[in-house]
A and B are shown apart, each in its own frame.
Chain A
Amino acid sequence: MILPVVIYLFAVFFVPIGGMLGLAVRDDELAEVMPLTVTEIAKWDGAGLPGPTAFEAVARDLTTAANARTAGTPARRLSYDDPALRGVISTTARGLKGEFAEGTDWTTRLPELDPAWGQPAVWTAIDRAAGPYSDFFVLAALDLRRDAAGSLHFAPDESRLYLDVLARTLKIAASVTAICLILALPAAYLLKSVSTGTQGLLMIVLLLPLWTSLLVRSAAWMVILQKNGIINNVLLKIGIIDAPLELVFNRTGVLIALSHILLPYAVLPVLGAMRNVSATQTLAASSLGAGPVRTFFSVYLPQIVPGISAAGLLVFILALGYYITPLLLGGPGDQLLPFYIAFNTTQTVNWGLAAALGSILLLATLLLYGVYVKLVGADRIGLG
C-alpha cells in the first residue's frame, strides 16, 4: 500500500531533484556543438597556445555551427566563464562565412578574425568547458574558479556574488528565527494558560495566517508598511516621527513579513512543550522561595528547551527557502538564495549555475532536516 506513493514521489520528486543535482556537474553544451575542438583541446598541456590541429578544429566546428545556427550555444557557455568570450565566438563564426577553406593556416587566420585566439585565455576557457562533467558550476556558485594550472582562486571582486548571497540568506534566516522564538514564548504561554473555550478561538487566530494564501499575507504587509501605509500614517499622526519611515522594499520589510509568516511554526512546538510541563513543579519552586524570574530560568525554561530548539530549527529551515516574500517586500540587496536559483533558471538561462545553487541550498536544508528528524522524529513534523 505504501508502494504507489513511493513510486509517485520517486518519479515526480526525487528523480527531478536528482536531475537537478546532475545538471550541476554536467557540462556538455560546448562538446555538443564543438566536438572536434573538445577532442583536440584534451591533447593540450595547458602551456602557451595549443597546436595547429586545435586551431583547425575550432575553424571546422564553428563553420558547421554557423551553418546550423548553433554558434549561440558555445558562445553562451563560454560567456559564463568570461562575458567577453561570447563576442569572440560569434565574431569568429560570422567571419568564417560558413565555408571551410582547406589548406588555410588557421594559427594565423583565427587571430585575424579575433585577436583573442592568439591569447591563452580563450583556450583555457574551452578546456574548462570541455566536459562532459566539471565542477565549474558548483565552483561558480561559491565564487570560485579554476585557472589553467587547475588551482582554485576567488573570482575577481566585481563578479563575486554568491558567497554574499549565501551569507545573507543565513543571516536573514537566523534573524527571523530569533524574532520568531522571542515572540513565540509569550504567545504559547497565553495559549496554554487560557480556558479550553478561549483556547479554541485563539488557536484559530494562530492558524488562520497559515491557511491564508502566502500572497495575501505578503500583499497585506506591502500595503501596511508602504510610505503612506497604515503604520506610517499612525506614527505621523501621533507625532512619533516627522517623515515617513522606509519600511518596505528593504531588509526591514523582509524581516517583518517573514517573521509573521513563520511565527505559527514556532508557536506550535513551543506550545506542545509547555503543555508537558507540570504546574506542580513551578509551584514547588516558588513555594521554596524562588522568584518568578528564577523559577522561569531554572525550572520552566529547561523543560521547554526541546520544544524551543525544534521550533528554531524548523523556522530556520523554512526561512532558507522563501522566494516570493523577499521578492515582494525586499530590495535588490535583500533577495535570498531561492531568488538567484529562479533568476538563473528563467532569466539568464544558466541552468548549470541554477542547479549548483539549488544543490547548495538542498544540502543545507537536508543537513538541518536530518538534525530535526533526530530531534523530534519525522512523524511529528506537522502543523499541530
Chain B
Amino acid sequence: MDSQYLWRLAIKICGALVLFFLIAPILAIIPLSFNSSSILSYPLEGFSTEWYAKLFVDDRWWNAIRNSLIVAAATVAIATPLGTFAAVGLSKVTFRGKPLVVAALMSPMIVPTIITAVGIYFMFSKLGLANSLTGLVLAHVALAVPFVVITVSASVAQLDPVLLRAASSLGAGAVTSFRVVTLPLILPGVISGAIFAFTTSFDEVVVAVLLTGPEQRTLPRELLSGTRENLDPSVMAIATLLVLFSTALLLVFNAIQNRSRKLRD
C-alpha cells in the first residue's frame, strides 16, 4: 500500500462522513415520531403511532395541507407553461443583451426570498391581495418560474433541429410543430420543471409568513409555529411524512432524468 492510496482512502472516508452529516439529521427524526415518550431524544422508550393518530384528528394540520396543495397545484399550473414557453423561445433567438435577460429571469432564485416577500407584501397590501391564497400563488409563481426555465432549457438543448425543419418542410405551422414535435420530445423536462415548481411552492415559508393570515396558513407556515411554540412528536410525525414525500418526488425526478438520458445515448 503506497502513500497515494492511503491518502485517497482518507479523503474518501472524510467524504463519506460528510455525506453522513448531510443525511443523518433527516433520518434521525423519523424514529422519534414513533416514540411512545414525548421527549424528543434517544434511546427510544417504545413504539407508538399515537402521534400520527393525533395528526389525523387535528383540523389545523388538515387545513394547512389543503391550503398547501391548492397553492402548489395552482403554482404548477401557471409556472409550467410560462417557463416552458420561455425556455423554448430563448433557444430560438439570439439577440444582444440576451445574457442580461437570462440573468434577470434567473434572479428570483438568487434574490433573497425575504426581499421578494417584503416587496410583494408592500404591493399586495395596497391591492388587497395580502391574506389571500391568490396573492401567495402569484408570488410562488415568480419564485418557481426560473426552475422550470432551467429544467426545460436542458431538454430543449438536446432537441435535434433537423426534426423541426422536417416538420416545417412537411407543411406544419409553428403551432403544429410545437405541439407534435417539440412538446413530446421535451416532455420529460417539462414534467421535471413541474415537479420543481411544486416543491418550490410546497416548501416555501418566508412569503407565506408575510402573506397569510390564520385562515390561509400553509403547511410550512404551520410547521414554523409548531417548531417555535410546541416542538413535540406530532411535529416530528409531520416532518417524517414530508421527508417520505420529498424522497418520492426526488426518486420520480431522478427516474425521469435517467430515462431521458438513456433515450439520448
> Which A residues contact B (CB, under 8 angstroms)?
1-6, 8-9, 12-20, 23, 183-191, 193, 200, 202-209, 211-224, 226, 228-230, 233, 260, 263-264, 286, 291-293, 317, 320-324, 327-328, 338, 341-342, 345-346, 351, 354-355, 358, 361-362, 365-366, 369, 372-373, 377-379, 381-382
Contacts and interface: CB of A to CB of B under 8 A. Distances in A.
6 contacts: A8-B142, A13-B107, A220-B29, A324-B224, A338-B114, A338-B206
A105 B165 CA distance: 88
A33 B213 CA distance: 30
The listed residue with most B CB atoms (<10 A of its CB), out of A14, A205, A219, is A219
Nearest to B41: A228
Contact of A212 (B119, B138, B153, B242): B242
Given A13-B142, A211-B250, A365 B40 contact: no
A264 B19 CA distance: 10
A2 B86 contact: yes
B239 A4 contact: no
Contacts of A19: 119, 122-123
Interface in B4-49: 4, 7-8, 11-12, 14-19, 21-23, 25-26, 28-29, 32, 39-42
B85 interface: yes
B3 interface: yes
A4 B18 contact: no
Contact of A16 (B18, B23, B120, B149): B120
B102 A378 contact: yes
B118 interface: yes
Contacts of A341: 114-115, 118
B264 interface: no
B111 interface: yes
Contacts of A224: 25, 28
Given A190-B11, A324-B206, 13 more contacts: A6-B86, A6-B101, A14-B104, A17-B116, A208-B250, A211-B250, A212-B243, A216-B243, A219-B235, A223-B32, A230-B41, A323-B206, A362-B115
Nearest to B254: A204
A187 B119 contact: no
B28 A220 contact: yes
A50 to B, nearest CB: 34
A190 B83 CA distance: 35
Contacts of B102: 378-379
A320 B112 contact: yes
Contact of A2 (B22, B101, B120): B101
Contact of A213 (B8, B86, B107, B242): B242
Nearest to B82: A5
Interface in B102-145: 102-123, 138-139, 141-142, 145
Given A204-B254, A206-B19, A342-B114, A355 B242 contact: no
A224 B149 CA distance: 37
Nearest to A344: B118
A229 B32 CA distance: 11
Q: Which of B85, B90, B142 has the most CB of A within 10 A?
A: B142
B152 to A, nearest CB: 11
Contacts of A263: 18, 21-22
A307 B98 CA distance: 24
B69 interface: no
B107 A12 contact: no
A200 B258 CA distance: 10
A223 B205 CA distance: 20
Contacts of A323: 112-114, 206
Contacts of A291: 3
User: B3, B25, B116, B227: which has the most chain A beta carbons within 10 Å?
Assistant: B25
Interface string B216-228: 0000100110011
A5 B106 contact: no
Contacts of B12: 186, 189-190, 193
Contacts of B104: 9, 14
Contacts of B228: 327-328
Contacts of A358: 114-115, 118-119
A231 to B, nearest CB: 10
B65 to A, nearest CB: 13
B82 A8 contact: yes
A31 B8 CA distance: 70
Contacts of A369: 103, 107, 110
A355 to B, nearest CB: 7
Nearest to A230: B42
Contact of B227 (A4, A18, A222, A229): A222
A108 to B, nearest CB: 43
From B21, B22, B145, residue with most partner A Cβ within 10 Å: B22
Nearest to A291: B3
B25 A16 contact: no
A342 B209 contact: yes
Contacts of B205: 214-215, 324
Interface in B178-193: none
Contacts of B86: 1-2, 4-6
A5 B109 CA distance: 15
A9 B142 contact: yes
A204 B243 CA distance: 13
A381 B21 contact: no
A26 B83 CA distance: 35
B236 interface: yes
Contact of A208 (B15, B17, B138, B247): B247
A212 to B, nearest CB: 5
B113 A345 contact: no
B122 A351 contact: yes
A338 B112 contact: yes
B246 interface: yes
Contacts of A327: 228
B116 A373 contact: no
